[in-house]
Amino acid sequence: MQRPGFNFLVCPDNKLAQLELERLTTQFPPQGTPVEAVESDNLNNWEKRVYWGDEELPQVFWEDLTLKGLFNTPKLIIVRQAQMLTAESWKKVSLALSGFNSDTWVIFMLEVAFDKGRPKIPMFLQKIKCWSFAESKKWIWTFAGLEAKNLVPFVRSEAQKRNLVFAPGAFEAILPRLSYDVGSILLELDKLCLVARLNEKGQSVILKEYASLLVHEPEMDIFAFIRSLEDHKKTLEVWNKLGKDELNDNASVFSFISLLLRELRIMWQLLCNETPAIAPFLIPVKKNMAHKLGFNFLGKMFALCLDAESGIKKGERSPEQAYEILLASLMKIFHHIRQIPNNPLPKS
């Protein structure tokens, strides 16, 4: 079976697209590759080149696209953020892809958001010949990202790849501690591999108590905390929401700050019209909050987080003091936003 001439991988979560790329390169290894080499490391059978769509494609890209590789090694050309290529670049790419090249396989990764179940593909790209040709050949893979309905089968599948089995109650304890970010899930499963116990069948057994080793705060908890800051009537509830009395050591406060910074980065990306690696159904609500805050207040929140972290590391504040000052400062920011005319936050 002949491999595709080129492929489009359309998914907001690049790690999911990477898994699909691994599947493709396993299914279609370079001609003449020994079976044992395919099974051991499929991507290393290719001379891999990576380019980015948010930058002008360099001359070496066009050479890679048309010229043979060194020692005739088959080339795998990957274009990240391909949706950001200009219309003019796509016209040139489409022309270069007009004939099948046995030595070069091009993979375009479109890291775009989905709306009502459909990827937001630039209109001009959908009119380019290489796109319509790929559609007719079924060379376009689309996946909206992990959601509640497909999280369980994905985690079980990845656990099986790692020869992990779950003791009674373990899977149910671990699942709520996983986010919808594939990279994060895979890291947590790899972490579990290190502590798992081998049974008589040679399987790695995950016990229920191992759930405590995973990130304690799920993705939505920190964002729910940010949203609760919107309403001045919930000030006391916010103060106790994340368990102030428990945030009294470096590790727990640093974890809180790290998760908060992650949410701020996601909202910053959304303000820049970028597509963060989060579940698609979370994008609208987080984008709405990002627009409420704007670059100015997001920047101030970044600064407060970094100041709290620095204060602990320098010994200027205890973890509890840093947490209390950070939380009070965040409340002050949201109070200030509520005073701005026409701002959608609830008024004091």
The reported pLDDT for the residue numbered 146 is: 86
39 pLDDT above the threshold of 60: no
pLDDT at position 311, please?
87
pLDDT band at 239 (very low <50, low <70, confident <90, very high): low
Q: What DSSP string runs through 15-46?
A: HHHHHHHHHHHHHSPPTT--HHHHHH-SGGGS
Backbone angles phi, psi at 342, to 5 degrees: 70, 5
Cα 111 to chain center, whole Å?
10
Neighbours of 94 (CB within 10 A): 17
Q: 14 — alpha (psi -120 to 50), left (phi > 0) or beta? A: alpha
Q: Which residues, at least 6 apart from 306, have a Cβ–Cβ distance to it below 8 Å? A: none
Distance CA(50)–CA(316), nearest Å, equals: 44
Task: Determine the Cα–Cα distance for residues 179 and 190; give it in Å rounded to an integer.
Answer: 15
Are the C-beta atoms of residues 53 and 82 closer than 8 Å to each other?
yes
- Distance CA(317)–CA(308), nearest Å, equals 8
Report the share of the chain in percent with pLDDT over 70. 83
Model confidence pLDDT, tens digit, residues 283-332: 888 888 898 889 999 999 999 999 988 888 888 888 888 888 888 898 88
Q: Does position 20 have pLDDT exceeding 90, yes or no?
A: yes
Residue type, 254: F
- Which of these ranges, 53-57, 76-80, 218-222, 314-318, has the smallest mean pLDDT? 218-222
d(CA 50, CA 243): 44
How far apart are alpha carbons 212 and 204 in whole angstroms?
Answer: 18
- Measured CA to CA in angstroms, residue 300 lies from 108, 221, 252, 262, 334 at distances of 37, 21, 22, 15, 11
Q: At 221, which helix (H) or strand (E)?
A: helix 219-228
- Whole-angstrom Cα Rg for the chain: 24
What backbone torsions phi and psi does residue 141 show, to the nearest 5 degrees?
-105, 125
* Residue pair 56/222 in contact by the 8 Å Cβ criterion: no
Among 79-83, 88-92, 235-239, 301-305, whose mean pLDDT is lowest?
235-239
**Could you give the strand order of the β-sheet that contains 6-10, starting from the edge strand earlier in sequence?**
47-52, 75-80, 104-110, 6-10, 140-142
Summary mean pLDDT of the chain: 83
CB atoms inside a 10 Å sphere around CB 347: 7
In the chain, the percentage of residues whose pLDDT exceeds 90 is: 36
How many angstroms separate the CA atoms of 154 and 143, rounded? 13
